[in-house]
């Protein structure tokens, strides 16, 4: 039981599928000891299931019409063992099953980082470029923005590093958040210009941040939500793989649950 299969996606990116056994009886003491509360939750879940299916089919229609190009970003420094990279590959695989005609740009910021802005290059993004270094930075920014502009769906693999995002992903945003190109200032405040796109963000974390005491120090999800919203991408699905540092069983469960969420997100 359990076991892990690896397959190669249509993109050539290895995707990992995790088959885990279902937990028998729902809790260690067996079904007869389930609480009334749990029964009530199950009844409510069953009651809401038709509405959830309706919602998923609505999402299906919304996404099906739109997807002709996918931009996928990875930034883990963990190479082949990266969970976010495997889940991004799984997301691409599922998207391309639904949209076989969709083309793909895969940018791996972990393997090939975009340089951080420096005093020598910042004018390429936030000023008037004049030097070779500034012009080269503007050209890089132009091409990263073109990749984004082309995409209907952006898939981002974002590990949590020190409560936030890897600096390589931040460097990508530093090149892509560009005044008058991806956002502008109007009388009513800043306006995102990258409208009509959807994002699926896979967040991997060693600990638990979606609930409990560490929720307050999750600077990863609110930050990513703001960065994307600032350039006009507000249709964002966040998928978590949490407690990856809690041992192999917790890790497998986290990956299995994230994979289920990916399947639902891509309907």
Ligand X SMILES: Cc1cc2nc3c(=O)[nH]c(=O)nc-3n(C[C@H](O)[C@H](O)[C@H](O)COP(=O)(O)O)c2cc1C
- Residues in the site for ligand X, rule: CB under 6 A? 76, 78, 82-85, 159-163, 204-207, 244
The CA-atom distances, in angstroms, between 81 and each of 56, 203, 253 are: 31, 15, 16
Q: With respect to ligand X, which residue has the nearer C-beta, 199 or 244?
A: 244
Q: With respect to ligand X, which residue has the nearer C-beta, 83 or 104?
A: 83
Helix (H, G, I), strand (E, B) or coil at 240: strand
- Residue length, the chain? 267
**247 is written with which tokens?**
């041992």
CB of 210 to ligand X, least distance (A): 11
Angle, alpha carbons 160-155-221 (nearest 5°): 35
Q: With respect to ligand X, which residue has the nearer C-beta, 84 or 91?
A: 84
Cα 267 to Cα 22: distance, rounded to the nearest angstrom: 23
Q: With respect to ligand X, which residue has the nearer C-beta, 223 or 230?
A: 223
Cα 191 to Cα 184: distance, rounded to the nearest angstrom: 5
CB of 1 to ligand X, least distance (A): 24
Angle, alpha carbons 62-99-195 (nearest 5°): 45
Q: With respect to ligand X, which residue has the nearer C-beta, 204 or 259?
A: 204
CB of 16 to ligand X, least distance (A): 12
CB of 48 to ligand X, least distance (A): 31
Helix (H, G, I), strand (E, B) or coil at 80: helix
Q: With respect to ligand X, which residue has the nearer C-beta, 13 or 145?
A: 13
Which residues, 6 or more positions from 119, have their beta carbon under 8 angstroms from its beta carbon? none
Distance of CA 40 to the CA centre of its chain: 33
């Amino acid at each position: 039981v359990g076991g892990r299969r690896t397959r190669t996606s249509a993109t050539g990116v290895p995707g990992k599928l995790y088959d885990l056994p279902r937990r028998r009886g729902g809790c260690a003491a067996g079904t007869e000891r389930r609480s009334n509360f749990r029964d009530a939750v199950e009844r409510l879940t069953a009651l809401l299931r038709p509405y959830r299916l309706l919602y998923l089919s609505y999402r299906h229609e919304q996404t099906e019409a739109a997807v002709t190009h996918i931009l996928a970003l990875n930034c883990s420094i963990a190479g082949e063992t990266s969970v976010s990279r495997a889940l991004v590959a799984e997301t691409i695989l599922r998207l391309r099953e639904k949209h076989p005609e969709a083309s793909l740009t895969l940018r791996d910021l972990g393997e090939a980082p975009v340089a951080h802005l420096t005093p020598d290059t910042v004018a390429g993004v936030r000023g008037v470029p004049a030097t070779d270094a500034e012009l080269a930075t503007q050209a890089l920014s132009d091409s990263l923005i073109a990749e984004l502009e082309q995409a209907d769906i952006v898939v981002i693999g974002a590990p949590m590093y020190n409560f936030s995002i890897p600096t390589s992903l931040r460097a990508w945003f530093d090149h892509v958040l560009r005044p008058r190109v991806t956002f502008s200032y109007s009388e009513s405040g800043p306006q995102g210009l990258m409208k009509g796109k959807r994002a699926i963000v896979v967040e991997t974390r060693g600990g638990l941040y979606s609930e409990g005491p560490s929720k307050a120090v999750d600077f990863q999800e609110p930050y990513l939500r703001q960065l994307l919203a600032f350039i006009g991408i507000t249709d964002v699905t966040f998928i978590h793989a949490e407690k990856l540092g809690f041992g192999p069983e917790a890790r497998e469960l986290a990956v299995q649950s994230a994979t289920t969420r990916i399947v639902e997100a891509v309907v």
